[in-house]
């Protein structure tokens, strides 16, 4: 009897498997485009949301920084006028107790009114620490906190009670700092000589800057230069706005712009001064009437109008570019819509791959008759889905980024290009593309199992 020799099952290399899968994708191009389209739409939706969120946050950061820079003179006016509250002074105290106080104040500020009422009897801010110095109030606080399972102090209750014991000393330290600031403010006020602070700060680079420093305020040369420049701009802007307050000037501006005199206000005037022609006309009218802005040049008026326009744009951007919470920063509802779109994507890919399996029964049977193992069949279908997911993910990520940029450019304009988060966006494009591959691979698992478990003889009988 002839011996039966059993040889090892030949296994194709991964590279050859990839080539076979790529050829299959090319031959079934229309079916492949359907899968690519499903992945691209889902990833584009995801990337659109993510890119908008990233751009909003970048704009908010840039706007906040730029606004703080533009309001430097106003900040110094406030610093030289008010000694500051306890909350404002606490971050400047270099002690652990001060850092703990700031953390506890943020915690109390985040409580709703009902819980704050139950725990603190309505006390707010540093007054809460004063109220809890009484044993009865502290006992009520302990009892109320024990009933609120979802409320957690930033530190253990024992640490908080230790902080309350240290609070009177910290409060006295803050009060001493505040008293010193009040003395410094009084010393500066004595040197104003009847001028307003804005008018005095126009000389921040000169004698008045020396007065401020001698009073104990830290005003370096670079900051003094910026403060003086902004103070002069603020002074000139006030003169320009005051200059249109007379009936004669309102009537002249109304006639020039074809408006009613009552419709002429500071905003309309800044719009007129934005262009050199309008600024030159207005300056001529001011010189003829010897108005408040007669001493300014036309170029200065245009500069002031541009600064006012920038300030309004930044303020609007800061208000609009606020994250709405949720995982993506666009709100929890959008997060759920995003999750639903991902599920629809998985279902669509699974359906497309199942149709591909149905159409390829004979091909699968032939491969099995030639010795293809179940693992090879399954790997082939998973690789095919991964290829399509990669193409769809890249296309969708780029398309979603372009849509997000376009949507943000319409309300924010040049702020988008100036603050576009290139690095973060590139990272999100890579993550979204990888997610497209992952979704396609996951969605192809069931169709791949179905193809791998198909009996060759049964598949050959299907017409």
Top-confidence residue, 110 or 452: 110
CA 52 and chain centroid, separation? 9
The predicted structure's pLDDT at residue 49: 81
pLDDT band for position 230 (cuts 50, 70, 90)? confident
Top-confidence residue, 383 or 396: 396
The predicted structure's pLDDT at residue 217: 83
What integer is the mean pLDDT of 114-135?
82
The predicted structure's pLDDT at residue 360: 67
pTM of the predicted model as reported, rounded to 2 decimal places: 0.60
pLDDT band for position 291 (cuts 50, 70, 90)? confident
Whether 304 has a pLDDT exceeding 80, the answer reads yes
The predicted structure's pLDDT at residue 8: 65
What integer is the mean pLDDT of 355-376?
70
Angle at which helix 298-320 crosses helix 266-273, to 10 degrees, equals: 120
pLDDT band for position 111 (cuts 50, 70, 90)? confident
* Structure-token pair, residue 202: 């126009």
The predicted structure's pLDDT at residue 20: 66
SS (H, E, C) the chain: CCCCCCCCCCCCCHHHHHHHHHHHHHHCHHHHHHHHHHHHHHHHHHHHHHHHHHHHHHHHHHHHHHHHHHCHHHHHHHHCCCCCCHHHHHHHCCCHHHHHHHHHHHHHHCCCHHHHHHHHCCCCCCHHHHHCCCHHHHHHHHHHHHHCCCCCCCCCHHHHHHHHHHHHHHHHHHHHHHHHHHHHHHHHHCCCCCCCHHHHHCCCCCHHHHHHHHCCCCCCHHHHHHHHHHHHHHHHHHHHHHHCCCHHHHHHHHHHHCCCHHHCCHHHHHHHHCCHHHHHHHHHHHHHHCCCCCCCCHHHHHHHHHHHHHHHHHHHHHHHCCCCCCCCCCCHHHHHHHHHHHHHHHHHHHHHHHHHHHHCHHHHHHHHHCCCCHHHHHHHHHHHHHHHHHHHHHHHHHHHHHHHHHHHHHHHCHHHHHHCCHHHHHHHHHHHHHHHHHHHHHHCHHHHHHHHCCCHHHHHHCC
What integer is the mean pLDDT of 9-28?
65
The predicted structure's pLDDT at residue 354: 67
Whether 325 has a pLDDT exceeding 70, the answer reads no
What integer is the mean pLDDT of 222-236?
87
Whether 426 has a pLDDT exceeding 60, the answer reads yes
Contact 304, 243 (CB under 8 A): no
Contacts 24+ apart (CB under 8 A), 262-270: 266/241, 269/240, 269/241, 269/244, 270/304, 270/305, 270/308, 270/309
Whether 59 has a pLDDT exceeding 70, the answer reads yes
pLDDT band for position 333 (cuts 50, 70, 90)? low
pLDDT tens readout for residues 153-196:
888 888 888 888 888 888 888 888 888 888 888 888 888 888 88
d(CA 154, CA 151): 10
Backbone φ, ψ for residue 11 (5° rounding): -125, 130
* pLDDT above 90: percentage of residues in the chain: 0
What number of other Cβ atoms are within 10 A of residue 157's Cβ?
12
The predicted structure's pLDDT at residue 301: 87
What integer is the mean pLDDT of 360-375?
71
pLDDT band for position 16 (cuts 50, 70, 90)? low
pLDDT band for position 213 (cuts 50, 70, 90)? confident
pLDDT band for position 322 (cuts 50, 70, 90)? low
The predicted structure's pLDDT at residue 425: 86
Mean pLDDT computed over every residue of the chain: 79
Whether 72 has a pLDDT exceeding 70, the answer reads yes
The predicted structure's pLDDT at residue 456: 67
The predicted structure's pLDDT at residue 10: 60
d(CA 35, CA 25): 11
Angle at which helix 207-214 crosses helix 157-189, to 10 degrees, equals: 140
Top-confidence residue, 459 or 313: 313
* Per-domain residue ranges of the chain: 14-67+326-461, 86-195, 236-320
The predicted structure's pLDDT at residue 311: 79
What number of other Cβ atoms are within 10 A of residue 315's Cβ?
13
The predicted structure's pLDDT at residue 234: 86
Whether 377 has a pLDDT exceeding 80, the answer reads no
d(CA 394, CA 387): 11
The predicted structure's pLDDT at residue 359: 66
pLDDT band for position 294 (cuts 50, 70, 90)? confident
The predicted structure's pLDDT at residue 356: 67
The predicted structure's pLDDT at residue 200: 86
Contact 148, 115 (CB under 8 A): yes
pLDDT band for position 29 (cuts 50, 70, 90)? low
The predicted structure's pLDDT at residue 4: 65
pLDDT band for position 331 (cuts 50, 70, 90)? low
What integer is the mean pLDDT of 213-231?
86
d(CA 147, CA 150): 9
What integer is the mean pLDDT of 293-299?
84
């Amino acid at each position: 009897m002839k011996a039966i020799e059993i040889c090892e099952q030949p296994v194709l290399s991964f590279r050859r498997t990839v080539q076979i899968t790529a050829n299959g994708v090319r031959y079934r191009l229309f079916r492949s485009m359907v899968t690519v389209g499903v992945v691209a739409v889902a990833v584009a939706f995801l990337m659109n949301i993510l890119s908008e969120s990233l751009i909003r946050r970048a704009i908010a950061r840039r706007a906040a920084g730029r606004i703080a820079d533009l309001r430097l003179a106003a900040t110094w006016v406030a610093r030289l006028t008010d000694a500051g509250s306890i909350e404002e002074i606490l971050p400047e105290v270099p002690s652990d107790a001060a850092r703990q106080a700031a953390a506890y104040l943020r915690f109390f500020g985040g409580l709703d009114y009902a819980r704050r009422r139950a725990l603190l009897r309505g006390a707010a801010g540093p007054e809460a620490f004063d109220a809890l110095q009484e044993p009865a109030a502290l006992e009520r606080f302990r009892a109320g906190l024990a009933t609120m399972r979802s409320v957690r102090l930033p530190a253990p209750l024992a640490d908080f009670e230790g902080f309350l014991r240290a609070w009177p000393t910290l409060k006295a330290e803050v009060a001493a700092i505040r008293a010193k600031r009040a003395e410094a403010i009084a010393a500066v006020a004595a040197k104003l000589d009847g001028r307003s602070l804005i008018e005095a700060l126009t000389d921040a680079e000169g004698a008045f800057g020396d007065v401020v420093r001698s009073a104990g305020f830290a005003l370096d040369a670079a900051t003094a230069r910026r403060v003086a420049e902004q103070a002069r701009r603020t002074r000139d802007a006030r003169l320009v706005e005051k200059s249109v307050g007379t009936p004669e000037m309102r009537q002249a501006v109304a006639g020039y712009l074809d408006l009613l005199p009552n419709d002429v206000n500071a905003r309309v005037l800044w719009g007129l001064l934005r262009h050199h022609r309008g600024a030159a006309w207005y300056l001529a009218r001011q010189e003829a009437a010897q108005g408040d802005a007669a001493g300014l040049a036309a170029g200065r008026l245009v500069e002031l109008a541009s600064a006012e326009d920038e300030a309004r744009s930044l303020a609007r951007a800061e208000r609009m570019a606020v994250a709405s919470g949720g995982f993506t920063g666009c709100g929890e509802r959008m997060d759920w819509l995003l999750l639903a779109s991902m599920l629809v994507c998985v279902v669509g890919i699974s359906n497309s791959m199942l149709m591909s399996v149905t159409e390829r029964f004979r091909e699968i049977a032939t491969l099995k008759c030639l010795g293809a193992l179940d693992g090879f069949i399954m790997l082939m279908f998973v690789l095919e889905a991964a290829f399509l997911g990669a193409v769809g993910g890249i296309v969708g990520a780029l398309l979603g980024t372009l849509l997000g940029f376009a949507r943000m450019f319409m309300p924010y304009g040049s702020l988008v290009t100036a603050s576009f988060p290139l690095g973060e966006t590139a990272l999100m494009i890579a993550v979204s593309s990888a997610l497209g591959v992952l979704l396609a691979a996951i969605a192809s698992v069931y169709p791949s199992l179905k193809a791998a478990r198909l009996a060759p003889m049964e598949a050959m009988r299907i017409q």
